[in-house]
Structure 1
Amino acid sequence: MAGEMVQFQSNGKQTEGYLAVPASGKGPGVIVIQEWWGLVPHIKRVADRFAEEGFVALAPDLYHGKTTKSPDEAGKLMMAMNIAETEKDLRGAISYLLNHPAVTSSKVGTVGFCMGGALSLYAATKNPQVGACVVFYGGHPNVKPELEKLEAPMLGLYAERDTFVTPEAARELERRLKELGKQVEIHIYKDADHAFFNDDRPEVYNREAAEDAWRRTIEFFRRHLQQKA
């Protein structure tokens, strides 16, 4: 079933997001965080796929109505983001989900792609209401998560050929998190490129890696998102 655009409170104003609810009418909550293109159809389809797996998924519109297909414009939109304001939008989205009658989990999961992957980890370090964090090749030069504050387990999904978020950077993040005593799983997909999950981009989409990463993500959220008491 298709989702719908909703509004939620964020930083004293209304922010929009795309909400997908499973056919059962209830399930654990997951925040789906966009790539640098904005809240495009691909991200809405990812939210719909979570709903098909039994989750209540909300993809907040962090660009507030703007989307692009141009890499140059996407880079400008990403770099123009006010990270503190974006964190408040994510906090509002988390609060909205946890208070939604369809959500059965006591905490939410966060998952994001590229820019959104960095924000998934960032949101998890800022919000103890995040119970599981998934990062698909996450990177943003202005997003600096305070890793010592991370309470949720993290699943990181990266690509061997990625020159933006390199395998070396992924292993360094893993090392730092383990040093801090955090729960972390990192997988680096052989022969995969950055954005391997995006099936709207045939030049980088890798079906085998995408399907395995999706399976791991669903299992991870099912394992870690507990029912409300």
Structure 2
Amino acid sequence: MSDAAGHAYLVVPDDGPGHGVLVLHSWWGLTPAVKAVVEALADAGYTALAPDLLDGARPADGDEARDVLAASDPNETAALVLSSIVALRAHSADPDGPVAVVGFSMGASWALWAATRQPDSVDAVVAYYGVQNIDFDALSAPVLGHFAETDPLVTDDDLVEMQAHLLLLDKHVEVHHYPGTGHWFAESGAGDHHDPEAAALAWERTLEFLAAHTR
């Protein structure tokens, strides 16, 4: 069952609700590529929901995306992320249980934030080329990170600092680097930035990680 009502995309597996996975998109918005991720998660047995963090906007390039984000209210986005967890639970196998969060770029930063802001609500985080500079002390969910070899939006220092912070706090963190890739490598709608081979490997690792930590 799929539901695209409002600015969100929900897919429930045909054989019934599964563990909830929240999908948080990059600054390109709720694109067909993001919806494909939701559908792939449902095919794997998860109830998946992708809220539209840009309220319908579909930036055509990086400059437009920056303008859209500059005009947005981060407090409203934060509230949408947290309310989406509640909405997802209602359609999941366990309405009272936690959900996993998979985020891409900007969405990965929000995923890490949500898992730290509401640790009892999130049981796993998958971050595609996105970091956070926050206090992770409250984080309880294991974290899987997929990062590009060359990335102007996520510096090596940013990643090393976050990973070191998590390890110093004795958090479960697993990081993979993908040679020859850049930012957006896992997103099928990213044109030349998309690397199908690296994306497939990252997706395989994502499903293995979710299976190990959510069931």
Shorter-chain TM-score category? over 0.9
Kindly state the Cα deviation for residue 50 of structure 1 after the two structures are TM-superposed.
0.7
Structure 1, unaligned stretches of length 5 or more? 8-15
1:104–1:219 Cα change, 3 Å:
farther
Q: Spell out, residue by residue over 1:57-92, the C-alpha distance to the aligned partner (whole angstroms, 9 max, x if none).
A: 000111122222222111111233322221111111
Q: Distance in 1 between matches of 2:114 and 2:166?
A: 16
Supply the distance in 1 between the matched residues of 2:61 and 2:169 (Cα, whole angstroms). 39
Distance across 2 between alignment mates of 1:69 and 1:4 = 25
Aligned to 1:13: none
**Per the alignment, in what secondary structure is the counterpart of residue 182 of structure 2?**
coil
TM-score where L is the length of structure 2: 0.92
1:176 equivalent among 162, 165, 179: 165
**CA 1:84/1:145 → structure 2, altered by over 3 Å: closer, same or farther?**
farther
TM-score normalised by length of structure 1: 0.87
Of Structure 1 and Structure 2, the greater helix share is in 2
Cross-structure match for 1:89: 80
| TM superposition shift of 1:37 | 1.1
Q: Displacement of 1:144 after TM fit?
A: 4.3
Shift of 1:23: 1.7
Matched residues, number: 213
- Structure 1 residue matching 2:98: 3-state secondary structure: strand
Runs of 4+ in 1 over 3 A off after TM superposition: none
Picking from 149, 155, 163, the partner of 2:144 is 155
Alignment of 1:10-159 (within 5 A): 16-100=7-91, 102-104=92-94, 106-128=97-119, 129-139=121-131, 144-159=133-148
Letter in structure 1 aligned against 2:57: K
Q: What is the CA RMSD across the aligned residues, in angstroms?
A: 1.7
